[in-house]
Chain A
Amino acid sequence: MIEIKNLDFYYKRNHQVLKDITMNFRAGRITGLLGKNGVGKSTLLHLIAGLQFPVEGTVNVMGYIPHKRQLNFLQNIFLLNEEVPETTLSIAKFEKVNAVFYPAFSHEDFVKYLAEFEITELKERIDKLSFGTRKKVFISFALAVNTKLLLMDEPTNGLDIPTKATLRKILRLRMNDERLIIISTHQARDLQNILDSVVILNNENLLLNAADSEITQKLYFGIATGNESPDTVLYREPSVAGDQIVRLNTANEESNLDVELLFNAAFQSKELFAKTFNIK
């Protein structure tokens, strides 16, 4: 669905944000875009959405060049920014003036998602709502537009714990084979168990772009037994139950992907990590 080739981007010449990035995003997946603060996660989303222009290289989304912002392209993507606008409109009025632009928008879905987030009064003015509630309104709208590509920048920021769980549930239910959801976050734990693939960015470069099945095939996540060869351990972290580790999955064992451990392993053992996933 998205093909990125040799992408270079900078805001100022002496401060490169993305350098020679080549990667693909496939439809039918929820992809987590992870990275430390300021590595270019939001910038990459903006390049995919057509808000920014590549300095070098190409970005191709569903056959469109994003920054040309053609009508059919714009009708099939939605970018939910980290900061949501403070508008004086009521929820109902906001829906009225914005939903008309999206052919696949569903009022029923919008109301249903709002209800899941415990928002039932559509006459409330958006600027009167708390940040978290405002965010729930915009998340509901972003999901209800039913675009093929949904880009979410730090959607869990400002949400309480039950709401994060609700969001995970809705995202899983909304998935289908034609849709791609890319979620940028630096709070890896928030997206635990819903990601089908993971992309990790590190200063200018790509550290990982792999499906969860590939990750758990190559890496094992679990509690240390003490029999592991130190050469195979990428990351170790003490916990109540014992040391949690990420190690090479040499014996083809089954384990569940732990996004936070994966993220830490990627940064702690960069060379071994790159070698394991064939990243240049």
Chain B
Amino acid sequence: MNSVKRIYYLIKRGLIIPYAIPSDFGGKRKSWQSSSYYFYLWFLLFAFSMGILRSTDFYSYESNVNGMVYGAVFTLIWPFVMTREHCKKINRGFAILQPATTTEKFLAFAIISLIVLPIHYICSSAIGFYLGQGLGSGLFHGNFIWAYDWSRVSLYVTPITVSLFFAATSFSLFVSLLIKNEKLQLVGMAAVLIPVVLAVPFMLGVYESGILPQLFSNTAAYVVYPLVAIAFLFGSFITLKRERA
């Protein structure tokens, strides 16, 4: 089997398995929860509630709502989806001992993390947001507006860049476990945790102005998150290569 085929099957395996929720995730697991649709539904519902909120006056200030909404979604869920699941599989040795080269695994993981999963989640959350905002406008303003603000580039760009960021930090964790580099592991964990810590007070409305909201703003999301993501990916790959040499 050639390299391309191996990467294809690694992606195929990786796509199926990361969705499976560990049994200790939250009590006993029902069969429908173990399907990949569970996470789509989760994103859809979260975005739906955010759409409803946005149709009210609660988030009337236009500043950073998209960044915040998607930031919160990805901040809270992505580390669980990516990091936890991958760590679990690494410990079991199921993925790590798959007969493929490290580069093939790296590419497969990067394609899953940076392209395939974000597209899935963005689609789910876009649908949820569309439905939530439409329903909310009808409920709170008496006028059902079934329209998505397609003109706002930030609606697509922000979730992509934010998901890039978390995928990259999760990836650095993946690499650090792969090569047992404790320093990289710590940096990766910190990178995943810091936005979580920052996001909670922001969501509670503690910060409405100042530097911290800017961290979650659309502009920052276009620049900061992708740069950090690229830095993490680059750093992880260099570390990986150096350890392998």
Q: Name A's B-contacting residues (CB within 8 A).
A: 46, 49-51, 53, 68-71, 74-75, 77, 79, 81, 83, 85-89, 97-98, 100-103, 127-128
Binds A, one of B99-107, B196-204, B222-230: B99-107
Question: Can you list 25 A-B contacts (CB < 8 A)?
Answer: A46-B93, A69-B96, A71-B100, A71-B101, A74-B97, A79-B93, A81-B93, A81-B94, A85-B20, A86-B23, A88-B20, A88-B34, A88-B36, A89-B16, A97-B12, A97-B13, A97-B16, A100-B1, A100-B5, A101-B6, A101-B9, A101-B98, A101-B99, A101-B100, A128-B31
CB distance from B3 to the nearest CB of A (A): 9
CB distance from B25 to the nearest CB of A (A): 12
Dominant secondary structure at the A interface: loop
Contact with A along B1-35 (1 / 0, CB 8 A): 10001100100110011001001000000010011
> Are B31 and A51 touching (Cβ within 8 A)?
no
A70 to B99, CA, bound (A): 8
- Name the residue of chain B whose CB is nearest to the CB of A70: B101
> Are A83 and B92 touching (Cβ within 8 A)?
yes
CB distance from A84 to the nearest CB of B (A): 9
Dominant secondary structure at the B interface: loop
Chain B stretch 51-98: residues in CB contact (< 8 A) with chain A: 92-94, 96-98
> Are A87 and B93 touching (Cβ within 8 A)?
no
A75 to B180, CA, bound (A): 22
Known: A71-B100, A101-B99. A86 touches B180 (CB 8 A): no
Which residues of the other chain, B, contact A127 by a CB distance below 8 angstroms? 31, 34
Count residues of B near A (Cβ-Cβ below 8 Å): 26
Name the 7 nearest CB pairs between A and B, nearest first.
Answer: A74-B99, A75-B99, A101-B99, A51-B93, A97-B13, A88-B34, A71-B101
* B244 is an interface residue with CB less than 8 A from chain A: yes
Which residues of the other chain, A, contact B5 by a CB distance below 8 angstroms? 100
> Are B17 and A102 touching (Cβ within 8 A)?
no
> Are B16 and A49 touching (Cβ within 8 A)?
no
> Are B20 and A87 touching (Cβ within 8 A)?
yes
Known: A87-B17, A97-B16. A49 touches B97 (CB 8 A): yes
A131 to B101, CA, bound (A): 32
Which residues of the other chain, A, contact B13 by a CB distance below 8 angstroms? 97-98
Which residues of the other chain, B, contact A98 by a CB distance below 8 angstroms? 13
Q: Which of B36, B97, B101 has the most CB of A within 10 A?
A: B97
Contact with A along B96-121 (1 / 0, CB 8 A): 11111110000000000000000000
A102 to B180, CA, bound (A): 26
Which residues of the other chain, B, contact A70 by a CB distance below 8 angstroms? 101
> Are B34 and A86 touching (Cβ within 8 A)?
yes
CB distance from B99 to the nearest CB of A (A): 4
> Are A74 and B98 touching (Cβ within 8 A)?
yes
Pick from B23, B97, B244: contact of A79, CB under 8 Å: B97
> Are A87 and B16 touching (Cβ within 8 A)?
yes
A51 to B177, CA, bound (A): 10
> Are A85 and B94 touching (Cβ within 8 A)?
yes
A96 to B23, CA, bound (A): 25
A46 to B92, CA, bound (A): 10
CB distance from A51 to the nearest CB of B (A): 4
Which residues of the other chain, B, contact A87 by a CB distance below 8 angstroms? 16-17, 20
> Are A51 and B97 touching (Cβ within 8 A)?
yes
A183 to B6, CA, bound (A): 29
Which residues of the other chain, B, contact A86 by a CB distance below 8 angstroms? 20, 23, 34
> Are A53 and B97 touching (Cβ within 8 A)?
no
A49 to B98, CA, bound (A): 11
Pick from B12, B35, B94: contact of A88, CB under 8 Å: B35
CB distance from A49 to the nearest CB of B (A): 6
A50 to B98, CA, bound (A): 11
> Are B9 and A50 touching (Cβ within 8 A)?
no
- Name the residue of chain B whose CB is nearest to the CB of A78: B97
> Are B6 and A51 touching (Cβ within 8 A)?
no
> Are A103 and B1 touching (Cβ within 8 A)?
yes
- Name the residue of chain A whose CB is nearest to the CB of B93: A51
